[in-house]
Structure 1
Amino acid sequence: MHISAREREIINLLLDHPDGINVQEIAESLNVSSRTVQRELKGVESIASAHSLFLKKVLGVGMYIEGTPEQKNELQIAILKSGQEFTQKERQELILCSLLKEPESIKLSSLANDLHVTVATVSNDLNKVEEWLKDFDLNLIRKKGYGIALLGSERKKRKALGHLIAQQLNEYEFLSVVEDEYESKTRFSNGLLEIIKLEKLTMIGKMIRDIEQQLPYSLADSAFMTFTIHLSLAIERIIQGEVIQIDQEVLEELSISKEFIIASQIVIELEEVFQVNIPIAEKGYITMHLLGARQRQEKNDWQKESSTEMVVGSKKLINYVSKELEINFEEDQALFEGLITHIEPAIYRIQKKLDANNPLAGQIQEDYPAMFKIIQEGLSEAFPKIVFPTEEIAYLVLHFGSSQVIYDNSKEVRALVLCSSGIGSSKMLASRIKKEIKEITEIEVSSLANLRNIQIDQYDIILSTVEMPGFSKKYITVNPLLPKKEAEQIRDEIKRNSLTTEATLLRKLHNKKFKKQIKLKTPKLIKQNLEVIQQYTETVLHILNTFETISLPFIPTSSILLLEVCKQANVRGLIGDYFEVTNQLTEREKKGGLGIPGTSIALYHCRSEYVMQPVFLSFLLHEPMVVKAMDHSSIKINTLLLLLAPVDMQTGQLEVLSTISSTIIDDEESTRIFTSNNYTDIYSKLSYALYDNLQKRFKD
């Protein structure tokens, strides 16, 4: 069975997420549109079915592959054995493996044949490979008639190989492989399996665990992973005749350390097990790894053992970050101790040019840019002679991010609520959130069209009443009436993000930058507030003056119903072309139902260029009609509420329509009043709600 590269990527993601992953998350992971993922799912389903597995889809959870571990393992093996179509990333990885493995030059046509692509495709891939190699100070030589080859020292090549291997597995998976407990070892690409044998990795890992007992300190998981990879690569390269060089003075300096004695022991065991002669230079590098991986166990002695430079530098870093973020990290003693414990061996690693394995570094830098940048700047101030690489800075971001102090300062949660128009269902959702989720302290409502004017990174959580295919940020699709299950889902998401709330940090930086302007109530700001109040009162008067309750004759279909209500608004001079407005309401309904679950009301709303002033009318149906509800169910309605707005709304107008939307579902009594189609009751309810909101505005 042919399996395309994209099908394989989707299957691997599904197998990696046994509890479920949704289409949006898959699309983000593969950097494609949701529509592309949907297109590929039919093929994925067929492949799973061919291996007696099922693609299960659960609303609110996502998709997962159902079956036994054995069946899933067979599927992974089948994928590897299939006539493979490689992704661009896989091709580039295989090219890297070939270049790092081969001491001689390689023909371009030979690579193209191995990868089942054209020479032009390989040539294009080599441009990306060349960029990647620059980080390791390795040069790609390309000559016509000669082929391609890699220029650089053995040490640099090993560093690049180690980085490639570390990218394949996280620490948990790596430890599972070493301890021979990893169910499927197919996560290593074929190219890497030719360079590093898993059996050697397992044997060396167990050997290091035994020798670790003799160390006066334990190895952190990341250090154990880096060290095991280093030794495994060293053995493979020595067998191939590739040797490493070391400065004689450095070697002499290392030979007087207690770690050198342990390194000598490791070398004796390796020589015996793998039947190779290991040069003394390798012993020097093993010593460096042991020194760089040191992690104190006696926490009471951390300050005594550390140099004054480390203590002072760590304090300076904490002080700098505290000032920039206006969070007092200085009161967190555990953070102070943790920084010293990490920074001292980190500086040693940097000075000795040892690789710091951190597979999450890129993700951390992308997810927490504000904190990353501040810590990077703080390190330059605290340790001006040391240039910290991305991997080390990312570890320090985690230290600060997990501080109890930042948790205490991140209690404010700002939510962005989106819908297609920004006047109807999103307002209902915002109203429910205020009542149900006290953790959310600030809510901003926006239409999709207005997204370009919003700084999305300033929000901790994004909620939408409609699906948004291709939207780049993580969001949760929510029923505007916020059922209990969805409220819990939002709370869980807030808890997950509470330790490192990047949006909170960005707001602090933003507020700090513009503090002076925020504090001053300038004449311009006062005038703007008065203009909004004027817009609000004018809109309230217009709504109350034009509001009507209208009884409709028998209407057979929902499309004719919409045409009739728009015609009624047009007859009263409230809107222009009612055919166009009808089409716009129909399109809005396609994006998500407009019936309010648990009631017999539908709130049809949209923005339109054929609406000059906000409109609110109530229609009583002659007979109940079935419409699609906001929770995707079907409900019978006897009341249709029409809420229309201009495309370009003033702030005051938007506030009036927001108040109307939230009042409809305010409580059971409100819903009963709007269902009644009684003019006096609805008019009275609207008047009080709009007036109360105006009074609150005056207080603010």
Structure 2
Amino acid sequence: MSIEKLLWKWKEGWPNRLPEAAYTRLLIRLSVAVTRMQQNHWINPSDRMVASAGERQPHPRLERFMEAFELEWPEAEKEYVQKLLDDVEEYAADDSAILLEKYGLELAETAVDLIRAVGRRMDIPFDQDRSLLDGLIRHLGPALERLREGKAIRNPLLAQIKKDYEPLFAAVREAADEIWRDLVVPDEEIGYLVMHFGASVERWQLFPRNVRALLVCTSGIGSSKLLAVRIHKEIPQIELVGHYSWYEAARIPQDRYDLIISTVDLPVEPDRYIKISPLLTREEKEKLLAYIRTIAANKPSPSAVKPSDDHGPWERLKLINTYTSAIVQVLDSFAVYSLDLAGGNDHLQAVLTAILARLPKGMLQREETIVERLIQREKYGSQIIPDSKLALFHTRSEWVRKPVVSLFRLSAPLMLGPDGTSEVRQILLMLAPQSLSRPILEVLSEVSAMLLLPETIRLLEEEEADKIKSFLSLELETFLRTKWEWRE
């Protein structure tokens, strides 16, 4: 109870974003650590813990935690508690950009490969389920870390999973063996992966096609945006065709939508719409799911709905301007540099130092600190894009003043990878300030995701700056057009 009160006293909000299981696990681990220290039982520091203690930045909450409990705090105990807080805060962020930053693009590509491999075997379009991709990226990062460290994995539901999802279990097992040839993946972990795919199967069976809905909300654009985001996140199969007042919605032909979702009472028959709050509580989510199951299965697909041209034009223009400005800011400084590695300066620190020196003046401060951070990221996991001679080096830092996306072509190969045998000929550098607007963060994340496209790799390896920038511009224009908010 003392630890829980302490967490909530910080008033920082992230404990509220944790799932119940993760929050309970954090409370238990912190409670055990404090109780253990109170009884003079100390953990033995490992070599890895000692090494990382000097690398990890001091956690601003660790000191407050230590002040709350008057105990001896050896470095190993500080490092342990700090890691608990760091890890759980990253988990609470629940952001795909952060996940990619932590685990790298290779993890995203692995998740995509697994989805496609299972989809081929089951003949189910798993690649259309964004929730499945997000869930797998979130799960595979720590799961693969556990497997590579040889930690035992328990799955008390394994027998039931094998019984209930026998064909799916076999498909996931075959796909995992195909993708991770150098890693032993036990049935227990396959069981957890099957649960992700099983949930996707259930979603697909419930909604074999998207359900089109009008959103009616008279309590302000802020509440309608909140509800729209909640629906998009919780039930992505619902396609919101626009935000309308009841006056506007009543004049849209009924054959152009499946249902009306409203935050207020409407002067129509109760079976023509469903009323929910802008917060979309768990009970309302279940109510909404139950309401649309029959619709999705039985009603023919409606014709495409074109949003009213005069619906929220000022809001649409501001949105377009915000994201367009972000795209221009990211691409405006894009350049391709040739880097001469003559003279034997072919080790990573020298290369990164030379790379930062080529950037326009005023974009960076304390380049040596940024170099150290980039090197540290390489130590945690290779930055080489699979099946290419391209490496992505990226970080966010308070010493970066403006976003940087630039390509550097090396005159001689740089050898990287765990065993130092992987050849790198191009380095794509992505730097961003620590404090970053949401649109720019999304644009940078989208550029990172483009590295999953073979055409992007080919252009970066072979073409000049103008052609590369043209391709990136086209892809980002498509990203802008297909953003869900574009249709508001």
TM norm structure 2: 0.44
TM norm structure 1: 0.32
Greater relative contact order (Cα < 8 A, sep 6+): 2
